[in-house]
Structure 1
Amino acid sequence: MRTACLLALALASCEAFRGPDLGPVGRMPEETPADDRLLDSLAEACVAWRYSQDPGAATLDGIHEYDDVAPSASRGDIDARLAALQYHLRTLRAIDRTRLSPASRIDAGVLDAHLRGEILELDRIRPWESDPTWYCGRIGAALHSLAAFRFEPADRRMEHAARRLRGVGTLLHQARENLKNPARLRTETAIAQFEGLHRYVRRAMPAAFAEVLVPALDASARDGAAGLVRERERLRAWQDFMAARADALKGVEEFVDWMRKELLDRSNGPVALGAEIFAELLECREMVRTPVPELLKRGYDLLAETRRRIDSEALRTMGATRADGVLDEMRALLPVLRSFAADVVTLAPDPEISILDAPAFRGPGDLASSEISGNEAHLCVTTGDLPIRARLPLLVAAELWPGRCTQALRLRDVANRVRRSNGSRGFADGWAFYCEQLYVESASDRPEIAIAGLHSALVRIARGVAAIEIHGNGMTLDGAAALLEKEAFLDRPRAEREARIAALDPLIVAQILGREEFLRLRAAERARLGPKFSLKAFHDRLLSCGQPPLPALEEILGAGR
């Protein structure tokens, strides 16, 4: 029944997509060609459908229609999602693109690629069948989006969380039925992530809603019996939440036990995508059509160029930052980085920023990552991985100002639904990496910043090369670790960690492609405008385009001249 309802919702969204729409930014509805309006409405329908299937992402993006909905991934659900995506793609291709405006033709290409990418992942990569971390990510996002962001009073968010917690056991039962033959690395990683999820549900979630237990003494005294009734209701809601939490903890414990005792022994699948699917993934998700051998050559050339510029001896002598001081040091950097950012890009109104330990369920990745919802922004730091002290401002530049946080906030001003909602990692991750470079360029009088920036770039580039080698050229995990150890001046444990990231995340290469494209576009614009070139105006123009794949970005910029 659920599957039939999901498919009916998808079909209904497409049948209704011919409704009125505001049209692209800068044009009134009556000035927008009819076929452009069809495309705009279809894009809206696709986004609405996507949120209905990913309630955690919906909550994080401020769409609260699904706050009571738990993630689900039965085989019927998967089949319904695939059918809906195929229907959306057929509907898109029924629009005559020759009748679209030039801007909408670009958007149609972006939406087409994005839908094909989602179909590729569900139908051929099949993470629901080959990657147990996929389930941890969905559960973690669904719970964290309610616990970490204060878009409603704590008691209301706690009620939503209780409903999602009750769905954890069902989703993990579906995972047991779906998972076939994952790569051993993916199962080992999932065990660690689910153990982190268990800690998060056990410790962080009660702490997030603890204020619900604080007696409202003044209200009780003022309102008498009515106040006491409300307090009893709050206590019952807390007890309901704790019961749902206990059920979820039990479900996670049983799932981890099952992975250890059963799934791990039959986790013999490949971790690599293979050259064909890897190339197709890059083409769909990033609109990158460069052949894998050429990508690999470009990666090695960039690696060699960056390596030549770094002083490995100076790198070894730079001081490390103690884990217990990382968060305080980064907080102290916020005013400095905001002042720098204001000189190079127009900033959106400041959100409320918190610098926190990364949630325990997060998988291996960079030292810091940002998350934004409503008027709150979190910089989540993995404090167990000690960066050199001089890299701390680079992390803030990449993730907050003028990097990912600025980009995400400016994205809210982009009216074009396709360019706002069908984001590319090459744009978002590439912008963050590019912003590290911006800060290095601004600190030419501080050699330690230059060295830290070069080493950060070297590690990212080497990791991207490793991802291409693993997924497109058959390199082993040991071979990737050896490459990173040699080329990026890493000790063996860190090299192995970065190699695992490259294996688990084939699109990690997009951040390199993005940074290089931003640098290329900047050089071309500076050459075109000469003394009239403004770095701030250039960045503002980039961010006004949304977050399209980079080949589409170049078309958009060219069309706007």
Structure 2
Amino acid sequence: MTSRFRSLFYSTAVALTVAVGSPAPAADPPADGAFAAFVDEYYAGLFAWDPSQATAAGIHDFDDVLPDRSAAAFEKRAESLKKLVERLAKLRAGSLSVTDATDAELLEMSIRAELLEIEAVRDWKRNPVVYLGKPAEAIDLIMKRSFAPPADRLKSVIGRLKTAPAILAAMKTNVTNPPKEFADLGLIVAKGSMSYFRTDLPAWAKTAAGGDEKLLAAFEAANKPVIEEFERAAAWIESDLLPKAKGSYAIGSAAFKRKLEVEEMLDIPLDKLLAIGEANLTKDRAEFIATAKKIDPKKTPAEALALLTDDYPKPEDLVGATRGTIERTRKFLIDNKIVTVPSEVRPTIEETPAFMRTGGFASMDTPGAFETKAKEAFYYVTPPEKEWDAKRKIEFMRQFNKTGMDIITIHEAFPGHYLQFLNAKQYPTKVRKLYTCGTNVEGWAHYSEQMIVDEGYGGGDPRVRLAQLSEALLRDCRYIVGIKLHTEGWTVEQGKAFFVEQGFIEPEIAFQEARRGTYNPTYLYYTLGKLQILKLRDDYKKAKGADFSLQKFHDDFVRQGGIPVKLIRKMMIPGHNGPSI
């Protein structure tokens, strides 16, 4: 589904994850002194504003604090960003090297994306998850990675625990009249966080304290108020927020288009953007129907898909079943020279933590580019909730069918997110080590699903192709539903119906997907990015002629960083000025 890059807990366009077991970092090219100072100042300010981003990046100067999320803090942050834009404009007007000019463009996009969020989208005023997700997310980053001795990390956790109640207090002050969908998700995250602070974190803390009773007592004293605050927050959502949750999730056409400009470097009229998505849905749907007939010409496409989706593991066996997909997908890449695999380290497969279960089904969480010690990478898969009825659980688990799970692992691990960010330590500059956009990272992972089957994964078995096309249809529907939800007044129920009818998606998954579109407006970046990469590959192949190598194309692409494909085109095909899509 997604990596941490596009988590529900909005974090600008800056990456929160990166490489495990990567080659030694390449030396950064020298930057202009004034611009280099600006880069350092920008990130210092960003990490002070959102310390968990620093922790995730592998920078541990802010591990013992959580951010101020008062209304005054948001206003101050916006003013700071506006001043940064002015200063950056002066630097860009001067003489910058090609490398610095690229980084300056990326930074301006990142700053303007954050300003758009604060001033126009304003999720901090309407989405309780912005607050509810932060404490557990930030503390979990410290708990699960061994970048320092456990006792030292526990001391940082205690510091973050002490600042957690203020975030929940800010939520109650700032969030008014949210969309019902956001309030519902807030309750899920609040309850998941309570479980984390009551059970998971204390179990780790007891081990981390290593017999130091004074340290353990300090943890317990700091953790108790956090549990109580989450209990009060959940009660507040149920009794106060939900009855008043009548706001609109739609951000509108102007903000939607602007998000694509400042987050993905794409300036496309909405009617053209929608036409691209609809055309791709038509193409993929036709291929899906034709492939279904190869499996059983007497069955409908939905019935043919059911032959795959009926073969799914029990929820308690989901992690084990996922582990079985890693070696065969990785081996195929190596045997067929698809892309270089630069590490022997494998990700750890675990259930998605309860506080992160907001509509995603699988994700990848890897250490940051500046992490020097921790190597733990987590491939998360989400089981159905225990309190769901049997029908809902079955609909949910069908996505984890035996054939489809290979496609999920291709997306999340090999050659998708995990492999791409195995290369992160060698990205050429500080900015490119810390920046990502969805059309690149999600586009690459989604492109990988189609590409690897095109290259022979599955040995031509139409069931494997059908599983791949099922994932493609899901992303095509996201593309269209996101636009319709935010610019044409669609409801979640209309979105759900579209996923079911056009994408052959199970009703429970269709609901989860449509609801995700309310808080992740531009989740069209999967398909849009895939189409950009396919076009880049075609143009690159024409430029290289007889020298074209698929492996070299892939190696060159994943070494550029998670930057917009429009910029990668300039680097991989010098002098080529064609459109990116």
**Which TM class, normalised by the smaller chain length?**
0.7 to 0.9
Residue 185 of structure 1 aligns with which residue? 181
Equivalenced residue count is: 515
In the alignment, does 2:362 pair up with 1:368? yes
Q: What's 1:346 paired with?
A: 340
Between the aligned partners of 2:359 and 2:575, the Cα distance in structure 1 is 36
2: distance between equivalents of 1:104 and 1:306? 40
Residues 424-463 of structure 1, C-alpha deviation per residue, up to 9 Å, x if partnerless? 1111111111122233223242322111111011111112
Matched, 1:306 2:306: no
The answer for the alignment partner of 1:143 in structure 2 is 139
Report the counterpart of residue 305 of structure 2 in structure 1. 315
Question: Structure 2 CA distance, aligned partners of 1:118 and 1:171?
Answer: 19
Q: CA-to-partner distance for each residue in 1:155-185, whole Å, 9 max, x for gaps?
A: 2212211221122211111111111221111
1:110 aligns with 2:110: no
Task: Look up the match of 2:156.
Answer: 160
- Take 2:282 and 2:171, find their aligned partners in 1: how far apart are those partners? 43
Compared CA separation, residues 141 and 560, structure 1 to 2 (3 A): farther
Q: Provide the alpha-carbon RMSD of the alignment.
A: 2.0
Determine if contact 2:450/2:468 at 8 Å carries over to the other structure: yes
State the distance in 2 between where 1:26 and 1:249 align: 45
Moved more, 104-113 or 541-550: 104-113
CA, structure 1 residues 209+438, in 2 after alignment: closer, same or farther (shift >3 Å)? farther
Equivalent position of 1:507 in the other structure = 522
- Equivalent residues of 1:106, 1:556 under 8 A apart: no
Shift of 1:259: 1.3
Secondary structure in 2 aligned to 1:490?
coil
Alpha-carbon separation, structure 2, partners of 1:39 and 1:548: 19
Q: Hey, what does 1:418 align to over in structure 2?
A: 431
Match of 1:518 in 2: 533
1:452 is matched with which residue?
Answer: 467
Report the alpha carbon displacement of residue 332 of structure 1 after superposing the two structures with TM.
2.2
User: For residue 255 of structure 1, what is the aligned residue in structure 2?
Assistant: 233
Deviation digits for residues 295-316 of structure 1 (CA, Å, limit 9, x no counterpart):
1111111111101111223211
Residues 28 and 428 in structure 2, CA contact (< 8 A), matched pair in contact too: no
Call closer, same or farther: CA 1:420–1:294 in 2, change over 3 Å.
Answer: same
User: Whole-Å Cα distance in 2 between the matches of residues 62 and 149 of structure 1?
Assistant: 10
Distance 1:279 1:490 in 2: 28
Alpha-carbon distance between aligned partners in 2 of 1:175 and 1:556, rounded to the nearest angstrom = 43
CA–CA separation in structure 2 for the residues paired with 1:28 and 1:300:
43
Q: Which residue of 2 aligns with 1:292?
A: 270
- 2:441 corresponds to 1:428: yes
Task: Give me the identity figure in percent.
Answer: 26
Structure 2 contact 154–209 (Cα < 8 Å) conserved = no
Seen in structure 2, the aligned counterparts of structure 1 residues 532 and 559 have a Cα distance that, compared at 3 Å, is closer
Separation in 1 of the partners of 2:58 and 2:435? Answer: 16
1:503-529: CA deviations, max 9, x gaps?
Answer: 221121112111111111112222332
Larger Rg belongs to: 1
C-alpha change, 1:119 and 1:254, in structure 2 (3 Å) is: same
Aligned counterparts of 1:558 and 1:407: Cα–Cα separation in 2:
20
Instruction: Measure how far apart 1:149 and its partner are.
Output: 1.4
**3-state SS in 2 of match to 1:508:** coil
- The superposition leaves residues 336-368 of structure 1 with CA deviations (integer Å, 9 ceiling, x where unpaired) of 222223332223334452100001011434321
1:4 equivalent in structure 2: none
Residue equivalent to 1:378? 378
8 Å Cα contact 2:150/2:209 also seen in 1: no
**TM-score, normalised via structure 1 length:** 0.88
| Structure with more relative contact order (C-alpha pairs < 8 Å, separation 6 or more) | 2
Deviations 1:88-140 (A, max 9, x none): 11110012436223443333222212211111101111111111011123222
Rounded to whole Å, the distance in 2 between the matches of 1:102 and 1:212 is 47
Asked if residue 359 in structure 1 is aligned to residue 353 in structure 2, the reply is: yes
Give the number of the structure whose residues are more often helix, by fraction.
1
Report whether the alignment pairs 1:241 with 2:231. Answer: no
Amino acid at match of 2:223: R
Given that 2:28 and 2:430 are in contact with CA atoms closer than 8 Å, whether structure 1 keeps it comes out as no
Say if 1:296 and 1:469, in contact at 8 Å, map to a contact too. Answer: no
Whether the 8 Å contact between 1:327 and 1:381 is mirrored in structure 2 is yes
Matched AA of 1:95: L
Q: What letter corresponds to residue 375 of structure 1 in structure 2?
A: K
Alignment-mate amino acid for residue 218 of structure 2: D
Q: What SS does structure 2 have at the residue aligned with 1:355?
A: strand
CA distance in 1, matches of 2:126, 2:496: 23
Residues 104 and 159 (structure 1 numbering): CA distance in 2 closer, same or farther, change over 3 Å? Answer: closer
Pair 1:269 & 2:269 matched = no
| Greater mean alpha carbon deviation, residues 330-339 or residues 457-466 | 330-339
Q: Which amino acid aligns with 1:353?
A: P
In structure 2, relative to structure 1, the CA distance for the partners of 1:481 and 1:244 (3 Å cut) is same
CA separation in 2, counterparts of 1:114 and 1:320? 41
Cα pair distance change 1:547/1:449, threshold 3 Å: same
Instruction: Select between 97-106 and 501-510 the one with higher mean Cα deviation.
Output: 97-106
Distance 1:25 1:351 in 2: 20
Mapped to 2, the partners of 1:94 and 1:490 lie a distance apart of: 50
Moved more, 325-334 or 466-475: 325-334
Distance 1:496 1:70, change over 3 A: same
Instruction: Read off the aligned partner of 2:307 and give its amino acid letter.
Output: T
1:191 Cα shift? 0.7
How much has 1:239 moved relative to structure 2? 1.6
Q: Contact conserved, 1:279 with 1:472, CA < 8 A, in 2?
A: no
Question: Scaled by the length of structure 2, what TM-score is found?
Answer: 0.85
Q: Which 5+ residue runs of structure 2 have no aligned equivalent? A: 1-24, 293-300, 368-373, 385-395, 577-581
Letter in 1 for 2:520: D
Distance 1:267 1:27 in 2: 49
Q: Which residue of 1 aligns with 2:4?
A: none
| CA-to-aligned-CA distance 1:59-89 (integer Å, 9 cap, x gap) | 1221111111123201222122112211111
Distance, in Å, in 2 between the alignment partners of 1:542 and 1:335 is 23
Would the aligned equivalents of 2:543 and 2:573 in 1 still touch at CA under 8 Å?
no
